[in-house]
C-alpha cells in the first residue's frame, strides 16, 4: 500500500494542539473547523492516493484515460501495454480456477447486444435504478442510498473502536462476543444502525423517494464537498445505456448495452445443457464487458461506465441451493486468498436486504485504500431468472433429473466479480515506495508473480562483448513459454528500477562470466537478492517460482 504523506499527520496534531488551548466557547467553533479540516485532509489523502495510483498506472503503460487527446471521457479508461497483460492474467487465473479445474463448469462468450425482451424479463428495464440526489451548493451528484450507507459505516467504525479499546483494557480476558452483546454504547450504536437500515431498505423496497430524502435530512448528512445540507429531491435513474439497432433509427427497437454478463448465460442455459450433455449440478462461466451509466463514478477504475465482469451461474437442484451458496462462498474466498494478499484484506458482507428473488447474498469486500468495498458478489438467485425467461419467451427452460425422475426449473448460485476491481485491488496493494538501506527510495510493484505482465527481463550488462547476442539466445529459449522483456538501454540499476515499477518478478542479467560459465545472475524483485543460475536451469527455475 502507498505511504501516507507524513505532513498530514503533523498537521492533524497541530490542529489538536490548537483546539486544546482554547476556552469552551471557541472550542465548539474550532471543533467544527477542525472536523472540516480533518475531513479535507482525509479527502486530500484519498485524492493523493488516486493521484499516485493514476499517475503510476499511466506512466508505466497500465491505464490511460479514454480518448485522452480529446481530454478524456468521464469514468472510461483504456488499458495500455502492461495493463492489458495484467488484466488478461487476472481473467485467465479466474478462468483456470473456475472452468479448467471444474469438470462440471463450461464457458461461453455471448454477444453484448441481446434481444430487448431479455431486459424486461430480467427486471432491468423496470428496476435497474439508483436513487440519485444533488447537492445544490457543490453541484455534486450522489447515490442517495450510498450517502446513508456511508453514514452507517461510520457508526460501525465507532463500534470497532469501542471493541479495540476494550480489548486493550481487558487483555487476554477479553470476550468480544460478550462485550458486543452487553456494552451499552455498542448496543446503542447497533440499535441506531438497525433503525437506519430498516428505514433505508424499507423506503428502497417501497420505492419511496421522499422517505429516503427525509432520512438524509433527519441524519443531518452533509455533502462531503460543500459541507451543506442543501439537497434536491431524490430521483430514480435507470443505469442501462440504450441505443437503436439497424440503419434506420425510426421504428427500430431500443436495445441496451448489457449491464451484466449473466443474462447471456441464462438465455443460453438450454443450449449449453443440451449440447454439452450437462448434468446438474453444473455451471456456465463467462467473462466480458458490461455497461452501466453510473451516477457517481469518481474512483478511478473502481466504478466505471464500461467495465468487465467474470461471472459464473451454477445450476442446482431446488432445495440444495443454500448448501451450494456456502460452498461457493468458501471457494471464492479461497481463490482470492490464493493470490497471496493478506487474509485481513478480505471480509464477507452478508446482505441484510435481499432482492425479492434471492434467498441469500453476500459480498466479498476488499480493504481498498478508501475502505472495505465490494469486490465480488455471491447470490442465491432461486429459479427467478430461468422462470422469467420461460415466461417471457414461452420456452420451457427446465431440467429433467433422471435420478428423481422429474423435471424442474433449476435454482442458481451466481458468483460475479469485476476484472477491473480485482486489478485495482492487486495494483493498489502492490504499489509501494520502499526506502533502501542507502536511504534511496525505490518504487516497486509487488504483484503476485502469476499476474505480473512480464515474468522476467533479460538484460545484457553492457551493449558489447557478445553479451547482447547471448541475451538474445536466452530470450529465444524462454519466449515461447513466458512473457519477457529485453532491455539493454541505460545503466543496469536503472533497468532494474524500470522492471520493479512494472512488477517483473525476475531480472536475468548476462555478464562477462556468462560467456565462460554459461550462468546468469537472477535478481528477485521483492528481496533484491541475486543468485547465480545455469542457463540450462532457467526454465525450471521460472516454472518453480512463478506462482
Ligand atoms: P456496487 O454495489 O459497487 O455498485 P453491484 O452490487 O452493483 O456493485 P454487481 O451487480 O453485483 O455489483 O456486479 C458484480 C461485480 O461487478 C461487482 O462486485 C464489481 O466487482 C463489478 N462491478 C459492478 N459495477 C461496476 C462498475 N461500475 N465498475 C467496475 N466494476 C463494477
**Whether 218 and 133 share a structural domain:** yes
| Cβ atoms of residues 357 and 229 within 8 Å | no
In this prediction, residue 23 carries a pLDDT of 36
Q: Tell me which residue has its CA closest to atom 16 in ligand 1.
A: 418
**Whether 145 and 226 share a structural domain:** yes
| Cβ atoms of residues 427 and 53 within 8 Å | yes
Residue 176 lies in a domain: yes
**Whether 218 and 134 share a structural domain:** yes
Last residue of a domain, one of 175, 209, 238: 238
**Whether 144 and 232 share a structural domain:** yes
**Whether 53 and 138 share a structural domain:** no
Distance between alpha carbon 441 and the CA centroid of its chain, in Å?
28
Residue 535 lies in a domain: yes
**Residue 64 burial class via C-beta count within 10 angstroms: exposed 0-12, middle 13-18, buried 19 and up:** middle
| Number of domains composing the chain | 3
Q: Tell me which residue has its CA closest to atom 3 in ligand 1.
A: 374
**Whether 135 and 230 share a structural domain:** yes
Residue 294 lies in a domain: no
In this prediction, residue 251 carries a pLDDT of 54
Residue 100 lies in a domain: no
The enclosing H or E element of 371 equals strand 371-380
Q: Is the CB of 143 under 6 A from ligand 1?
A: no
Q: Is the CB of 56 under 6 A from ligand 1?
A: no
- Atom index in ligand 1 nearest the CA of residue 294 equals 27
CATH number of the domain where residue 196 is located: 3.30.40.230
In this prediction, residue 354 carries a pLDDT of 83
State the first-to-last Cα distance of the chain, in angstroms, to the nearest integer: 21
CATH number of the domain where residue 502 is located: 3.40.50.800
Last residue of a domain, one of 37, 59, 81: 59
CB under 8 Å to 96, separation ≥6 — which residues? Answer: none
How does pLDDT run along the chain (547 residues), one tens digit per residue? 333 332 232 233 333 333 333 333 333 333 333 343 334 334 446 678 788 999 999 999 999 999 999 999 989 999 999 999 999 999 999 999 999 999 999 999 999 999 999 999 999 998 899 999 999 999 998 999 999 999 999 999 999 999 999 999 988 888 988 999 999 999 999 999 999 999 998 998 888 999 999 999 999 999 999 999 999 999 999 999 999 887 655 556 789 999 999 999 999 999 999 999 999 999 999 999 999 998 877 789 999 999 999 999 999 999 999 999 999 999 999 999 999 999 999 999 999 778 888 999 999 999 998 889 999 999 999 999 999 999 999 999 999 999 999 999 999 999 999 999 999 999 999 999 999 999 999 999 999 999 999 999 999 999 999 999 999 999 999 999 999 999 999 999 999 999 999 999 999 999 999 999 999 999 999 999 999 999 999 999 999 999 8
Which residues form the domain of 229? 129-238
In this prediction, residue 136 carries a pLDDT of 96
As a whole number of angstroms, the distance between CA 245 and CA 312 comes to 28
As a whole number of angstroms, the distance between CA 444 and CA 431 comes to 6
308 alpha carbon – ligand 1 mean position (Å): 10
Phi, psi of 318 (to 5 degrees): -55, 140
Residue 507 lies in a domain: yes
Residue 526 lies in a domain: yes
Q: Is the CB of 368 under 6 A from ligand 1?
A: no
Q: Is the CB of 89 under 6 A from ligand 1?
A: no
Q: Identify the CA nearest to 487 among candidates 468, 502, 500, 514.
A: 468
Q: Is the CB of 418 under 6 A from ligand 1?
A: yes
Residue 398 lies in a domain: no
| Cβ atoms of residues 370 and 421 within 8 Å | no
As a whole number of angstroms, the distance between CA 519 and CA 512 comes to 10
As a whole number of angstroms, the distance between CA 384 and CA 414 comes to 12
Residue 483 lies in a domain: yes
As a whole number of angstroms, the distance between CA 27 and CA 20 comes to 8
In this prediction, residue 249 carries a pLDDT of 55
Task: For residue 407, list its beta bridge partners.
Answer: 400
Last residue of a domain, one of 186, 220, 238: 238
Amino acid at each position: 500500500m502507498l505511504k501516507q504523506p507524513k505532513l498530514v499527520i503533523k498537521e492533524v496534531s497541530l490542529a489538536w494542539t490548537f483546539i486544546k488551548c482554547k476556552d469552551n466557547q471557541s472550542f465548539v467553533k474550532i471543533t467544527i473547523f477542525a472536523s472540516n479540516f480533518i475531513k479535507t485532509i482525509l479527502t486530500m489523502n484519498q485524492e493523493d492516493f488516486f493521484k499516485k495510483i493514476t499517475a503510476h498506472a499511466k506512466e508505466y503503460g497500465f491505464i490511460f484515460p479514454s480518448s485522452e487527446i480529446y481530454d478524456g471521457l468521464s469514468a472510461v479508461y483504456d488499458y495500455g501495454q502492461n495493463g492489458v497483460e495484467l488484466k488478461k492474467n487476472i481473467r485467465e487465473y479466474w478462468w483456470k480456477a473456475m472452468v479448467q479445474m471444474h469438470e462440471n463448469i463450461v464457458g461461453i462468450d455471448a454477444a453484448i447486444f441481446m434481444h430487448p425482451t431479455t431486459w424486461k424479463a430480467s427486471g432491468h428495464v423496470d428496476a435497474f435504478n439508483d436513487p440519485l440526489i444533488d447537492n445544490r451548493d457543490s453541484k455534486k451528484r450522489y447515490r442517495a442510498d450510498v450517502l446513508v450507507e456511508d453514514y452507517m459505516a461510520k457508526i460501525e467504525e465507532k463500534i470497532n473502536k469501542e471493541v479495540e479499546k476494550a480489548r486493550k483494557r481487558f487483555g487476554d480476558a477479553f470476550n468480544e462476543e460478550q462485550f458486543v452483546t452487553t456494552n451499552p454504547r455498542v448496543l446503542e450504536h447497533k440499535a441506531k444502525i438497525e433503525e437506519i437500515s430498516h428505514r433505508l431498505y424499507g423506503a428502497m423496497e417501497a420505492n419511496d423517494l421522499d422517505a429516503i430524502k427525509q432520512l438524509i435530512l433527519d441524519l443531518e448528512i452533509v455533502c462531503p464537498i460543500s459541507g451543506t445540507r442543501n439537497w434536491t429531491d431524490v430521483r430514480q435513474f435507470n443505469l442501462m445505456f440504450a441505443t437503436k439497432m439497424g440503419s434506420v433509427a425510426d421504428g427500430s427497437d431500443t436495445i441496451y448495452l448489457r449491464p451484466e454478463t449473466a443474462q447471456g448465460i441464462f438465455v443460453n442455459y438450454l443450449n449449453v445443457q443440451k449440447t454439452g450433455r450437462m448434468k446438474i449440478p453444473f455451471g456456465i462461466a463467462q467473462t466480458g464487458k458490461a455497461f452501466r451509466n453510473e451516477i457517481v463514478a469518481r474512483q478511478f477504475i473502481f466504478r466505471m461506465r464500461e467495465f468487465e465482469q467474470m461471472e459464473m451461474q451454477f445450476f442446482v437442484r431446488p432445495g440444495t441451493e443454500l448448501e451450494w451458496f456456502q460452498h461457493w462462498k468458501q471457494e471464492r474466498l479461497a481463490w482470492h486468498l490464493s493470490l497471496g494478499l493478506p487474509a485481513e484484506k478480505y471480509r464477507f458482507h452478508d446482505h441484510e436486504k435481499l432482492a425479492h428473488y434471492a434467498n441469500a447474498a453476500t459480498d466479498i469486500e476488499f480493504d481498498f485504500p478508501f475502505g472495505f468495498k465490494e469486490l465480488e458478489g455471491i447470490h442465491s438467485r432461486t429459479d427467478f431468472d430461468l422462470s422469467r425467461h420461460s415466461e417471457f419467451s414461452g420456452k420451457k427452460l427446465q431440467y429433467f433429473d433422471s435420478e428423481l425422475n422429474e423435471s424442474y426449473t433449476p435454482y442458481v448460485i451466481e458468483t460475479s466479480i469485476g476484472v477491473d476491481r480485482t486489478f485495482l485491488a492487486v495494483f493498489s496493494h502492490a504499489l509501494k515506495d520502499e526506502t533502501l538501506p542507502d536511504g534511496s527510495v525505490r518504487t516497486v510493484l509487488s504483484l503476485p508473480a502469476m499476474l505480473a505482465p512480464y515474468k522476467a527481463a533479460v538484460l545484457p550488462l553492457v551493449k558489447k562483448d557478445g553479451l547482447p547476442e547471448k541475451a538474445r539466445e536466452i530470450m529465444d529459449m524462454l519466449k515461447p513459454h513466458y512473457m519477457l522483456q529485453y532491455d539493454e538501454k541505460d545503466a543496469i540499476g536503472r533497468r532494474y528500477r524500470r522492471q520493479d515499477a512494472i512488477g517483473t518478478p525476475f531480472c536475468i542479467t548476462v555478464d562477462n562470466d556468462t560467456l565462460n560459465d554459461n550462468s546468469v545472475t537472477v535478481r528477485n524483485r521483492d528481496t533484491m537478492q541475486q543468485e547465480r543460475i545455469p542457463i540450462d536451469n532457467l526454465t525450471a527455475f521460472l516454472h518453480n517460482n512463478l506462482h
